[in-house]
Structure 1
Amino acid sequence: MDFMNYYMPTKILLVEDVVLKNSSLFNNFGEKALIVTGKTSSIINGSLSDVTSVLQKEGILYDIFNSVEENPSLETVENIAELGRVQKSNFIIGIGGGSPIDASKAAGVLINNPTATRYNLFDSPHLKSIPVIAVPTTAGTGTETTPYSIVTDNELQTKRGICQRVFPEYALLDVKYLMFLPAQITINTSIDALSHLVEGYMSSKANVVSDALAEKGLKLFGECLNMIKEKDFTCIVREKLMLASTIAGMVIAQSGTSLPHGMGYALTYSHNIPHGKANGVLLKSYLDFCLDENKVRKILYLLTLENLDDLGDFLNAMLGSVNTVSYEEMCSYADKMVLNNDKLKNHTSPVTREDILKIYTDSLKI
C-alpha cells in the first residue's frame, strides 16, 4: 500500500437538541461570539434561537451578521470580517448551509489577521482563522467537515476556493434543523452531497480511508433513493442524508472534488443554477468519461442502480434539464476549465479541452 495521510480534526456531534445539550463547549473559545447566518432560514428552523439561548446561558456576548447570500461574495466576507474586527470577536458560529459556513471560514481568516485583505485569501496559505463552529441546516455541502471555503469572486466572475485550510472545531448536527427545508432545496443539496461522494471516490487522491467513507456515504444515499424520488422526506430519510453529506465532507477533505465541481461553477455564476444541480447535471457524463469501470460499477451498486442510464434518468427527473447554455458559452467555459489545474489533477487520467466540452454538450440540452 502507498503511504497514506488522513487528517480530519473536526469533532462531530449528532444528537437531538445537540446545541442545547452541549452549551458548555462554547466556553472553550472566548467571551465574544460572532454568529454568521442567512436572512430567514435559521429563524424558521430554530437553529438561531438555540444558539443565542445557549450563549446567553453561558454568559457569552455575541453579535449577529444575518445577510449572507447564496454563493457568498468576497464583499460579504469583508463585511463579516469588519464586524468581527470592530467587535473583537473571539470565535464564529456559522449557521446554515454551505454559504454561511464557508463565509465564516473566510471571514475568520481576515478577523484573525487584521492587515489581511481579500486578496490574501488566495495568496497566503499560512494565515490562520479564529475558531469556527459549524451548525449545518442543510444536507449537501459537507463544509462542516472540510477545510474548504468557496466564495464568489465578482472581479474574476467565478466561484473559487480560498487557499487557507479552515476546519471547524465542532460540527453540531441536528436533523430537526432540516425538517423545514423545501423539497427542491432538499433535492439540490442532496445531489451536491452525492457529487462529493462520487468525485471524491473517483479522485486521483482517493485512499483506502476516503474510499471506505465514500462507500458508506453512497450506501446511505442509495437507501434514500426511492424516498428522494417520491419526495418523502421523513425524519429518518433526512438524518441519513445529513450523515451522507457530513461523510462526503470527510471524503473530499482528503481527496478533493474534480471535474463536475470545476465545470459547475460557471453554470452557477453565469446562469444562476443552484450549486447541487450544476454538479448533478454533469455527473452521468462525467462517470461515462471515467476509466475506472470497477469503481463506477461499485457506485451504481451502492446506489441500487443498474447502469449509468438509470443514474441519468434519476438525475434528470430530480433536477430537470438545463437548456439555457449556448454552445459558444460551453466552449468558453471549457477554455477556462482546461486551465483549472487544481481540478484537472484530481482526475486519474489526462483531460483535454475536447473532453470537457463533450461532458458539457452531452449534459446540457441545447
Structure 2
Amino acid sequence: MFNFNYHMPTKIIMGPDCVKKNSRLLRQFGDFCLIVTGHGSSKINGSLEDAISALEHEDIRYRIFDEVEENPSLETVEKAFLENSVHPVDFIFAIGGGSAMDAAKAVSLLFRNRISARELLSIKNLKGIPVLSIPTTAGTGSEATPYSVLTDHQESTKKNIGQVIFPDIAFLDARYTINLPHHITVSTAIDAFTHLAEGYLNRNSSIMSDVLAEKGFSLFGECIGALRNVCLTIQDREKLMLASTLAGMEISQTGTSLPHGMGYPLTYFKGVPHGTANGILYEGYLSVFKDRRKIDRMLSLAGISGIPEIGNIFRELLKCELVLSEEEIAEYTENMLCNDQKLKNHPEHVTRDDIASIYRSINRR
C-alpha cells in the first residue's frame, strides 16, 4: 500500500538563458526587488548580470545586497534587512550557492514580519515575501527546499531556523557553474549525493521521494569519472545541477539525517566546507546500517561496487586531511546525541558508540 504526502510548490525552469528568456514571470511579484548574493562569484559567472537584465527588461527596480558569506550568520541576514528596510521591497532574488539562498529566505521573512533575525528561531509558522532563486553551484538544492540553515554564533553552530520558505521559482542554468574551482564543484556535488542518500535512507522516505533519489543517484554516477578526471563537460554540469535539485525536492519531504547533523561541528570548529564535512563521514555512516538493502540499490544505481569503494572515491575527490582527537570525538558525539531531529530521521536505532565510530572513520586513510 502506498502512503505518502507530497508537496512541492516551487516552479522549476531549466536551460541556457532561462532567466532572461522567462523575464516576464518576474512581473507578477511586484515592482521592487532585493537581490541577495555573495561577494563575487555571481559577478564573475554572469548570473547577476542576467538577473539584472531580466529585471530591467520588465522595468522592475532593484537593490543589491552582496555581503553574504559562506555559512551565513543571523547577523548578516539582519544587516541585509536593516540596510534595505526603507525600500518598498516586494520580492527577493537569491543568486549564488546555498549560503545566498538560505540567507535570502530568512531575509524574506524579516521583510514580511519586521522582526529581528534571532526571533526567526522562536516564532513559528512565519510567512515571507516571495523568493526567486538562481543556484550557481550544483549541491545544496536550496532552490527546491523550504529550509534556511544559518550560523548562530551565540551557540557556536549552524541550525535550520525552523521556518518553511520554498522559493516561488528556481532558474537552473548550469553555465553559471563552469568557472567554479574544481574543489568547490566536488564538494557541492558530494553535498548533493549526501542529500540524495540521507533522504533515501530515511524514516520519512516514500515512493515519491525514492523516485527522485534513484534518478539522482544515476545522474551522480554518470559524473563520477568526470569529477575524478577533472574534465566536466557542460552536459556533466547539467546532470549534477539536476541531481542537486532532485535532491532538494527529495529532502524537502524527508529532511536529512546523521551526517548533516554530525558535519555541522566540523564546519563550525574545523572550517571544513559543508559538502566535504558530510562526505568524509559517509563510509562510517553507511557502515552502521544493519539493513543494507537500500544501500546496495543506491550504490548500484550510482555504479559503485560497495561501501569501501564509495569511501575510496570520496577520499580521492575530497582530499581532506582532517584528524579528530578522542576528546573532539567525545564532545561532538555528545552534541549529536542531543540532535533529536536528525536522530529521529535515521531509520534504525543508533547508539553513542555508533556515532563515535562514524567520527573515528574520518581518521582512517
Q: How do 1:176-191 and structure 2 match up within 5 A?
A: 176-191=175-190
Report if the CA contact (8 A) 1:202-1:347 is conserved: yes
Correspondence for 1:223: 222
Correspondence for 1:95: 95
Correspondence for 1:64: 64
Correspondence for 1:151: 150
Q: How do 1:1-366 and structure 2 match up within 5 A?
A: 1=1, 3-114=3-114, 116-365=115-364
Give the TM-score of the pair, scaled to structure 2.
Answer: 0.98
Q: 1:364, CA displacement in angstroms? A: 3.1
Q: 1:53, CA displacement in angstroms? A: 1.3
SS across alignment from 1:313: helix
Deviations 1:178-202 (A, max 9, x none): 1111111000000000000010100
Mapped partners of 2:186, 2:148: distance in 1: 22
Alignment length (residue pairs): 365
Q: Is there any run of 5+ residues in structure 2 with no aligned partner, and where?
A: none
SS across alignment from 1:87: coil
Mapped partners of 2:28, 2:226: distance in 1: 40
Amino acid at match of 2:54: V
Question: CA RMSD for the aligned pairs?
Answer: 1.1
Mapped partners of 1:77, 1:358: distance in 2: 36
Deviations 1:312-344 (A, max 9, x none): 100000012443422211110111100000100
Mapped partners of 1:290, 1:149: distance in 2: 29
Q: Is there any run of 5+ residues in structure 1 with no aligned partner, and where?
A: none
Runs of 4+ in 1 over 6 A off after TM superposition: none
Mapped partners of 1:84, 1:344: distance in 2: 39
Mapped partners of 1:191, 1:8: distance in 2: 23
Amino acid at match of 1:326: S
Deviations 1:42-70 (A, max 9, x none): 01100101111111111111000001000
Amino acid at match of 1:290: F
Q: 1:365, CA displacement in angstroms? A: 4.7
Amino acid at match of 1:231: V
- Stretch deviating more after TM superposition (345-354 or 231-240): 345-354
Amino acid at match of 1:222: G
- The percent of aligned pairs where both chains have the same amino acid is 48
- Stretch deviating more after TM superposition (148-157 or 49-58): 49-58
Mapped partners of 1:2, 1:220: distance in 2: 26
Mapped partners of 1:111, 1:290: distance in 2: 44
Give the TM-score of the pair, scaled to structure 1.
Answer: 0.98
Mapped partners of 1:108, 1:290: distance in 2: 39
Amino acid at match of 1:344: L
